[in-house]
Amino acid sequence: MESLLQIIVSGVLVGMSYAVLAAGLALIFGVMKIVNFAHASFAVLAMYIPAFWFLQWWGVNPFISSVIALPLFFVLGYLTQRVLIERVMGKPESEMSTLIITMGLSFLIDNLILTAWTGAPRIINEPYTTGTWLVGSILINHAQTYSFFISIVIIGGLFLFLNKTMIGKGIKAAADNPGSCAYMGINLRFVYGIAFALGIATTAAGGCLMATYRSFNPFYEESIVVILFACVVLGGMTSIMGSLIGGLIIGMIQQVSALLFTISIQNVAIFAIFALFLYIRPQGILGKKERMV
Amino acid sequence: MKTNSRRQGPTLWGNYLPIAIFCVVVALISYFIGDVRYTQRVLLLILIWAAASSCFNIISGYGGQTVFGFMMFIGAGAYTSVLLFKFLGISPWLGIVIGAIIACAIALFIGLPTLRLRGAFFAMTTMAFPLIAYALLCNVGLEEVTIPYAGPNPGSLHFADTRHYVLLALVLLSVILVIIRWIETSRFGFSLKALKQNETAAEGIGIDTYKTKLMAFMLSAFLGGIIGTIYAFSILLVITVHSAFGLFIIVRILAFACIGGLSTLWGPVVGAAILVPIGEYLNSKFGGSYPGLQDIIYGVALIVAIIYMPEGIWGKVLKALRRPAEKLAGSVKPIRAEASDVPNIDKQERAEPFKFEQIEPKTREKRNGSILKIEGVSKSFGGVMALKNLDIAVPRGKVLGIIGPNGSGKTTLFNVIHGYLRPEKGRIFFEGEGTTHLKPHTLCRLGIGRTFQVPQIFHNMTVVENIMVGAFANDGNVAKARAVSEKVAMRMGLGSRIHDYAVGLNAWETKMVEFGRAVATQPKLLLVDEPMAGLNPEETHRIGELIKAIANSGVTVIVIEHVVQSLVKIADVMVGLDQGQKVAEGTPGEVTSNPHMIEAYLGPKWRERYAKT
C-alpha cells in the first residue's frame, strides 16, 4: 500500500517535470503543425545555461534561473523561428523538412554544448538535490517538490496568456485556421514566432527545474526527446492540458516499471507503450478523429 | 508527335553503365593510392556512409517515409554478426546474411504497426525502437563488445590490406545502386513515388500503399543490415551501443542524403563524398580538443541543405541537365476547344483537338442487370448521419447522375463504394460479389475507377507518368504501360503536355490527367465527383462529351454534379439525395420534377427554366 502511494507521489512529481517540458512542444505542434525535434535540446541547453553555470559563476539559485531562462529562451526561440523554421514552412513537404531541420539544430546544440563544456556528466549538488521529507513512510524529494509547484505556476501562466491576452487569442486563432487569420489582418509570422518562443521558454524553464535533481550531459536530449513526444501524443498532440495528462501518465508508467524492472530499462516500458498506443489510437486520448477526404 | 528518345526510358546501358564505370574508377583509385591506411580509411568511410544513406533513400527518399530509427537496422546487422562471431565462432560472411535477415525481420515487426502512421508520427515512432535496443543491450551487459582479432584472415573478415575492405564496400554500394536504379525504372518505383506524393490517390488507382511501403521498408532494412556487419568489421574494433544505435548515425545519413539530394540515385554518394572528408579532416585536426566539432558540421550541413537547396546538389545538377529538353517538348499552346464531332483536321498541330476515342473496357459482355448494388448502407460521422439506410442499384453501361444539396452524402457515398470509408450498416455488391469491406486498391483492380472532387494528381510526375501509374493496375510491364499511357494522353488532348510535370498544368489539364489516369486502369465502373466544378461553359460541354464517350465504350459511370442542366443531358438515370436518404429515382425528367428535390435543392425557378430549354 505504501509503495503504491510512493509510486503515485513520485509519478506525479516526475510526470509534472515532463509535462512542463512537453507543454511547449504541444503548443508548437498545435499552432504551427510542426514537430520540433530540437525541443529537448533547448531544455538541455537551459540545464547548462542558466541553471548550472549561473550557479557555478555567480551562485544563482537554479529555481531563480528557471525564471531568468524565460526571457532568454523566449528571444532564442523567436530568433530560431524567424531565421530557420520560417524559411521552410508552407513549402511542399514542410512537415518533413521542419522535422529534419530541427533535428539538425538539435544535433548542433548538443555538439556545441559538448565542444564548449566537455561531455562530463554534471550534477547540481545543493542541499535540496538529495534532501527529502518523510511524510508517513513516503519519501518526498525537496527539489522535485519545489519544481512541481513552479511547474504548475508556469503552465498556469501559459494557459492564462493564451486565453486572456490578445496575442494569445491570435495564437489560438492561428492554430485553428491560419488562412482566415491572414485575411483578418493577423501577422502569421509574428504569431508563429511568439508561439515558438513561448514553447521554447517554457521548456527552458522546465529544463532548469529538472537540472536541480537529475544528472545531465550534452546528449541527455537523446534520452528525453522521445519521452516528450510520447507525452504530447498521449495527450492528443495539440492541447497543453493534454500534454499535462500525457506527462503524468508517462511519469506513472516510469515509476511502476522502475518497481518491476531494473532502472536501466525503465524507459523501454515507456517506448513500448508509446509505440503500442500510436498503433491503437493515433489521435491521442483527448484528440478527435479527423474526417477524411 | 516527335518522340524524344531520352524520355522513352533509357536503355539498359544508359541505366547501369554509369554505375559500372563508377565501380571501376573507384576501385582503380583505391588500388593506386596504395596501402596508405588513413586515406583508404576515409575512402572506406565514404563508401560505407554512401551505402547506408542510399539504403535510407529507398524508403525515405523514394517512398517518402522518413525513418528516424534507421540506425536500428545497421545496429542489428552489426550486433548480430559480431555476437555470432564472438560467441559461436560463426564466420562474419555468414553473419552478414543472418544479420540482414534479422534486420529485415525487425523491420517487419516495426513496420506492421507504424507504417499506418503518417509523416512526423511515423518518423518519431521509429526512433523509439533503437532506444529500446540501446537500453536492452546495456541491460544484458553488451554495452560494448570487442571484436576478437587473431591476425589477418579473410574468413573472419580481417584483411591486412585496407584496400580489400574498400573493395568489399564498393561492391556492396554498387549492388545497392543497381537495385535503386532498377526500382527507379520499375512499377515498384512508380508506386513508391506515387504514394509519396499522394497516398489517397495512389490507393485509389490500385496501389496497395501499405504493402508497397512495407516492402520498401524491409528492403532498406535488409541492405542496412548488410552494411552494419561490414561497418562493424572494417571500421570498429570495439562495437558499442552508441556506435551501432546512436542518433549520430541517422543525422549523418540524413545530412549526406539531403546535401546530395534525396530521391536521386547519386545524391547520397555525392553527399558522402563531400562531407565525410571534411568531417574526418576536422576530427583529425581538432578532434582531441573539440570533440563535438565534426558533428557540428553535419548538423549545419543538414540545416543549410534543407533551407538553401532542398533538392540537393545532385538534384540541382539533374534539373540543370533537364531544362533545355523540357523547353523543347513542352508547348505552351493551349488545347484548342473543339467539340468532339469536329473531325481531326490538322494532324501536324502539336496541340491535338480534343477528341475522345473509344477505349477498350475490361469486359465487353453485355449482361443486363445492375453492376453495383448498394443495400441498406448507413454511415455516420459523430452524431451526423451522412447516409441513412440507402439502397441504390446502378444499371450496367448507363450513366447515373447523383444530385442533392451540399451535405446530402454524395461524396460520402463515393467513399463508401470505393472503400475509403466503411459503412456501419449495409452491404455493397460489385458485379454480384460482396465488396463492402475491401480496400480502394483492391476495388480498383476489380474495376472501379474514380476521379475526385478536388483533383488528386501526382504533382512531381509528368503527365504520362501520372497516367502510367493508372495503367500499372493492369499490367506491370513498364514499356507497355508507357505505350498505353501515351495513347490515353493523346485521347485526352494532352499530347503537347505529355512530358510536362503535372504541377504546371491548368485546371482543365489537371482534370484530364485525372480522367486519363482513371481510364488507364480500365475500369468497368467509373465514379466521377463534380467534374464540372470551376469550368467554363465550353469546358463543361466538353467534359459532358467525354463522360458520354467513356460510357459509350462500355463503362458504367456514376456522376455527382451540381450543374444539373448539364447533367440531365448526359445522365440516363438519376438519383436525388437529401440528408443521406434517397428521395427521388428515375429518369432525369422524373427526378428533376420530383417535388422533394425541387423543395430541397433545385428551387421552384428550376422548373420554369428547364421547361424552356
Report the CATH number at residue B428: 3.40.50.300
Q: Identify the residue among B57, B110, B136, B302 best suited for mutation to test binding to A, counting A beta carbons within 10 A and taking the highest.
A: B302
Selected residues 243-262 of chain A with any CB under 8 Å from a CB in chain B: 262
The pLDDT assigned to B161 comes to: 86
Is the CB of A271 less than 8 angstroms away from the CB of B132? yes
The pLDDT assigned to A282 comes to: 62
Residues B243 and B386 in one domain: no
Is the CB of A114 less than 8 angstroms away from the CB of B116? no
Closest partner residue to B127 (CB to CB) among A88, A113, A226 is: A226
Give A139's pLDDT tier (boundaries 50, 70, 90).
Answer: confident
- Of these ranges, B24-28, B292-296, B493-497, B596-600, the one predicted with the greatest mean pLDDT is B24-28
DSSP state of A286: S
B444 in a structural domain: yes
Closest partner residue to A105 (CB to CB) among B247, B258, B303 is: B303
Give B326's pLDDT tier (boundaries 50, 70, 90).
Answer: very low
Q: Tell me if B567 sits within 8 A of B393, measured CB to CB.
A: no
Is the CB of A108 less than 8 angstroms away from the CB of B299? yes
pLDDT tens figures, B261-279 = 988 999 999 999 999 999 9
The pLDDT assigned to B349 comes to: 36
**A19–B contact, CB cutoff 8 A:** no
B282 in a structural domain: no
Q: Identify the residue among A89, A103, A229, A233 best suited for mutation to test binding to B, counting B beta carbons within 10 A and taking the highest.
A: A103
A289 in a structural domain: no
Give A289's pLDDT tier (boundaries 50, 70, 90).
Answer: very low
Average pLDDT, chain B: 85
Distances (CA, A) of B604 to A174, B113, B599, B600: 42, 54, 7, 10
Q: Tell me if B89 sits within 8 A of B81, measured CB to CB.
A: no
Q: What is the CATH number of the domain that holds A223?
A: 1.10.3470
pLDDT tens figures, B128-165 = 899 889 888 988 889 899 998 888 888 888 888 889 99
Residue A39 sits at the vertex; the CA angle it makes with A33 and A45, to the nearest 5 degrees, is 155
Is the CB of B292 less than 8 angstroms away from the CB of A96? no
A214 in a structural domain: yes
| Residue A269, pLDDT above cutoff 50 | yes
pLDDT tens figures, B77-131 = 999 999 999 999 999 999 999 999 999 999 999 998 888 877 788 888 888 899 8
Is the CB of A264 less than 8 angstroms away from the CB of B139? yes
B49 in a structural domain: yes
DSSP letters of B87-112? HH---HHHHHHHHHHHHHHHHHHHHH
The pLDDT assigned to B91 comes to: 92
Q: In what order do the strands lie in the sheet with B384-395?
A: B384-395, B370-381, B425-430, B433-434
Distances (CA, A) of B80 to B102, B239, B422, B424: 8, 11, 43, 47
A251 in a structural domain: yes
Give B10's pLDDT tier (boundaries 50, 70, 90).
Answer: low
| Total count of domains within chain B | 2
Instruction: Give the residue-averaged pLDDT of B55-66.
Output: 92
* Length of chain A measured in residues: 293
Residues B229 and B86 in one domain: yes
- Of these ranges, A92-101, A202-211, B378-387, B416-425, the one predicted with the greatest mean pLDDT is A202-211
B322 in a structural domain: no
| Residue A293, pLDDT above cutoff 60 | no
What residues of chain B lie within 8 A of the CB of A79, using their CB? none
Is the CB of A88 less than 8 angstroms away from the CB of B420? no
What residues of chain A lie within 8 A of the CB of B143, using their CB? none
Q: For residue A149, what are the domain limits?
A: 2-280
pLDDT tens figures, B180-222 = 999 998 999 999 999 998 888 898 888 999 999 999 999 999 9
Give B329's pLDDT tier (boundaries 50, 70, 90).
Answer: very low
Give A103's pLDDT tier (boundaries 50, 70, 90).
Answer: very high
Instruction: Give the residue-averaged pLDDT of B355-366.
Output: 50
pLDDT tens figures, B457-508 = 898 889 999 999 989 988 888 888 888 888 888 888 888 888 888 888 888 8
Give B352's pLDDT tier (boundaries 50, 70, 90).
Answer: very low
Is the CB of A223 less than 8 angstroms away from the CB of B131? yes
What residues of chain B lie within 8 A of the CB of A105, using their CB? 299, 303
**A108–B contact, CB cutoff 8 A:** yes
A285 in a structural domain: no
DSSP state of B426: E
Q: How far apart are CA B475 and CA B485, in angstroms?
A: 12
B255 in a structural domain: no
Give A258's pLDDT tier (boundaries 50, 70, 90).
Answer: confident
A189 in a structural domain: yes
| Residue A134, pLDDT above cutoff 90 | no
B261 in a structural domain: no
| Total count of domains within chain A | 1
Comparing alpha-carbon positions, the chain A residue that sits nearest to B255 is A104
Comparing alpha-carbon positions, the chain A residue that sits nearest to B245 is A222
- Of these ranges, A241-245, B18-22, B566-570, the one predicted with the greatest mean pLDDT is B18-22
Phi-psi region of B582 (alpha: psi -120 to 50; beta: other; left: phi over 0): beta
B519 in a structural domain: yes
Is the CB of B120 less than 8 angstroms away from the CB of A226? no
The pLDDT assigned to B11 comes to: 64
Work out the percent of chain B whose per-residue pLDDT is above 90. 36
Record the cell numbers describing residue B474, joined without a space.
Answer: 493492369
Q: For residue B33, what are the domain limits?
A: 10-249
Q: How far apart are CA B466 and CA B446, in angstroms?
A: 20
A-B Cβ pairs (cutoff 8 Å, strict): 147
The pLDDT assigned to B612 comes to: 56
pLDDT tens figures, A19-37 = 999 999 999 988 888 889 9
Q: Tell me if B280 sits within 8 A of B236, measured CB to CB.
A: no
The answer for residues whose C-beta is within 8 angstroms of residue A256's C-beta and 6 or more apart is A7, A11, A269
Is the CB of A293 less than 8 angstroms away from the CB of B200? yes
ipTM of the complex: 0.89
- Distance, in angstroms, between A261 CA and closest chain B CA? 10
Q: Of the residues B204, B227, B249, which one is the last residue of a structural domain? A: B249
Q: Which residue has the higher pLDDT, A248 or B10?
A: A248
What residues of chain B lie within 8 A of the CB of A225, using their CB? 127
Q: Identify the residue among A105, A108, A228 best suited for mutation to test binding to B, counting B beta carbons within 10 A and taking the highest.
A: A108
pLDDT tens figures, A166-186 = 888 888 888 888 888 888 888
B48 in a structural domain: yes
Record the cell numbers describing residue B424, joined without a space.
Answer: 456501419
Instruction: Give the residue-averaged pLDDT of B291-306.
Output: 88
Give B43's pLDDT tier (boundaries 50, 70, 90).
Answer: very high
Selected residues 84-103 of chain A with any CB under 8 Å from a CB in chain B: 84, 87-88, 91-93, 95-97, 99-101, 103
Comparing alpha-carbon positions, the chain B residue that sits nearest to A266 is B135
pLDDT tens figures, B571-587 = 999 999 888 888 888 88
Q: Of the residues B249, B268, B301, which one is the last residue of a structural domain? A: B249
**A233–B contact, CB cutoff 8 A:** yes
Q: Looking at beta carbons, which pairs linking B58-61 to residues 24 or more positions away fall under 8 Å?
A: B58/B179, B58/B180, B58/B183, B58/B216, B58/B219, B58/B220, B58/B223, B59/B213, B59/B216, B59/B217, B59/B219, B59/B220, B60/B220, B60/B257, B60/B262, B61/B257, B61/B262, B61/B263, B61/B264, B61/B267
Whole-prediction pTM:
0.88
The pLDDT assigned to B350 comes to: 35
The pLDDT assigned to A37 comes to: 92
Q: Of the residues B196, B230, B249, which one is the last residue of a structural domain? A: B249
Closest partner residue to B307 (CB to CB) among A87, A114, A265 is: A87
